[in-house]
Chain A
Amino acid sequence: METSFLIEKGILILVIWGITMLIALYSTFGERVVAAYFQDRRGPNRAGPGGLLQPLADGVKMFTKEDFIPNTPNKWLFIFGPALFMTTALLTSSVLPWGDKLNIFGYEVSLFVADINVAILFILGVISIGVYGIMIGGWASNNKFALLGAVRASSQMISYEVAMGLSIIALLMLSGTLSVREIAAQQGGDFLGISGMKWNIFYQPLGFLIFLVCAFAETNRTPFDLPECEAELIGGYHTEYSSMKLGFFLFAEYISMFISSAIIATLYFGGYNYPGVNWVADHIGPNIATILGVVVLFAKIIFFIFFYMWVRWTLPRFRYDQLMNLGWKILIPLAIANIIITGTAILLLN
């Protein structure tokens, strides 16, 4: 292994971490602004021009608050819970492709951290470990509300994980690979004569819908935010948390929102591909085409983050039995039907 390889990946990790933090930070601001406009008011506009420094002010506040540990026999687990949740949220970005190859002075840089051939399994595995963060944190709080929130969160997340795994299978039948980079590259093909438009959404509309619903449930966003249902559970699993540990729980939610938007954009909406990608590469230059691809990918991601907020202020929260019915009795049979339809269609068309 060469040093240049390690340096290249190290820089990429730092850049992706920076972008993740920036987007998550401004999602908290965006959430409040979007919410405000949906409710016909202005939202935060005092800190900095147009309220742009609000997330920094919030961060500083979180940092300087008292790091409170309640009377619990599991002090280490109480700290370990949010730390695990945040670490797993930061880990998924390592297998996602952020762009095609970039040629810098004859040195070729691939815009992904790790191209492993089990990337999809890695993503599902890391998401499952995230459940432990909530469960450990909620249980170690030694609080009934936190325990209820944690139990709700884990049973909700594992229920929707089954449907999520099944909805991806239909996609894998099309692509024939578990590597996210290859799935993204395949979508650069022609669709109806337009290059870079062979997006999986055109082949997997039902699979996309199931995946989207499951992504909402996995990130604990409304209408699936029962774990922190304030009217019943105070704050759910993070009732007892304060300072940066509370910050991690809240912040990791925004990071997973960003990551799941990136996964949706990469798996179903062509990733870094856009219509006419070959034309740009031939006429203007491959580097420009790659950079444009990264911009397009982030535009798609930001659209989906906005979509998360849009849904939050449109749909009310589910009841618990409705949540479980949707996951087990509707989404799982629907995902299996989708697999059979996809399989039959592939076999008939070949």
Chain B
Amino acid sequence: MENSVVGYVPILMQFVFAAGFVGATILISHFIGPHRSSKTKDANFECGIEIHGNARLPFSVKYFLVAILFVLFDVEVIFLYPWAVNFREMGMDGMLKMILFMGMLLIGLYYIIKKKALEWE
């Protein structure tokens, strides 16, 4: 296994290649296609009716809640990764501690479900 920085160079190469391909394709298709614009055509699509208000409207706060909960839970999931990799060395001791940790995670989940944070109508 390569632990040095050298192991990451091919990823950088692939990134540069992928980004170059994407940029070039967008640029080429931009020059190939026709361009005809008019005020009506450039307007945003709303099923053919007149535009009604601004598209930057506030959306349901539930989505924001989901995002906040994701941050909380994902951070806790990240804590589990180093433990999982070293699971065999830590044995029963590590297992019991992690059961406690995951128990608290589940209590938190139970709490947000009871608080109806994930209730959609």
Contact = CB atoms under 8 A, between A and B. Distances in A.
Query: Is B one of A's binding partners?
Result: yes
Nearest to B105: A336
A91 B120 contact: no
A116 B7 contact: yes
Contacts of A332: 73, 109
Interface string A75-110: 000010011001100110111000000000000000
A83 B26 contact: yes
Contact of A329 (B47, B55, B57, B118): B118
Nearest to A335: B77
Given A65-B33, A90-B18, A340 B102 contact: yes
Nearest to A339: B102
B101 to A, nearest CB: 10
Question: DSSP majority for the B interface?
Answer: helix
B30 interface: yes
Given A71-B43, A142-B55, A245-B26, A115 B7 contact: yes
A297 interface: no
A45 interface: no
Contact of B28 (A63, A145, A336): A63
Nearest to A63: B29
A114 B45 CA distance: 44
Contacts of B14: 13, 90-91, 93-94, 113-114
A166 B29 contact: no
A347 B77 contact: no
Contact of B7 (A71, A79, A114, A147): A114
A51 B74 CA distance: 45
Interface size class of A (residues with CB under 8 A): 35 or more
A243 to B, nearest CB: 5
Given A166-B80, A172-B81, A332-B109, A66 B13 contact: no
Contacts of A65: 29, 33
Nearest to B47: A234
B43 A70 contact: yes
A142 B45 CA distance: 10
Given A155-B66, A243-B33, A91 B44 contact: no
Contacts of B56: 142, 147
Contacts of A204: none
A95 B87 contact: no
Interface in A158-190: 158-159, 161-162, 165-166, 169-170, 172-173, 176-179, 181-182
Nearest to A248: B22
A63 B26 CA distance: 9
Interface size class of B (residues with CB under 8 A): 35 or more
Contacts, number: 215
Interface in B1-31: 1-3, 6-11, 13-15, 17-19, 21-23, 25-26, 28-30
Given A64-B33, A141-B44, A147-B59, A336 B15 contact: no
Contact of A87 (B15, B34, B118): B15
A315 interface: no
Contacts of A350: 88
26 contacts: A10-B13, A63-B32, A64-B33, A83-B22, A87-B19, A91-B11, A93-B14, A94-B14, A95-B11, A122-B11, A145-B46, A146-B55, A147-B57, A151-B63, A158-B70, A162-B70, A165-B77, A173-B84, A176-B85, A176-B88, A178-B81, A243-B33, A244-B29, A332-B109, A344-B95, A350-B88
Given A116-B11, A244-B26, 14 more contacts: A10-B13, A13-B10, A64-B29, A70-B42, A86-B18, A91-B14, A141-B55, A166-B80, A169-B84, A170-B84, A321-B119, A324-B118, A343-B98, A346-B87
Interface of A: 1, 5-6, 9-10, 12-14, 17, 62-72, 79, 82-83, 86-87, 90-91, 93-95, 113-117, 121-122, 141-148, 151, 154-155, 158-159, 161-162, 165-166, 169-170, 172-173, 176-179, 181-182, 234, 239-240, 243-245, 247-248, 320-321, 324-325, 328-329, 332-333, 336, 339-340, 343-344, 346-347, 350
3 closest cross-chain pairs (CB), A and B: A244-B29, A321-B120, A90-B18
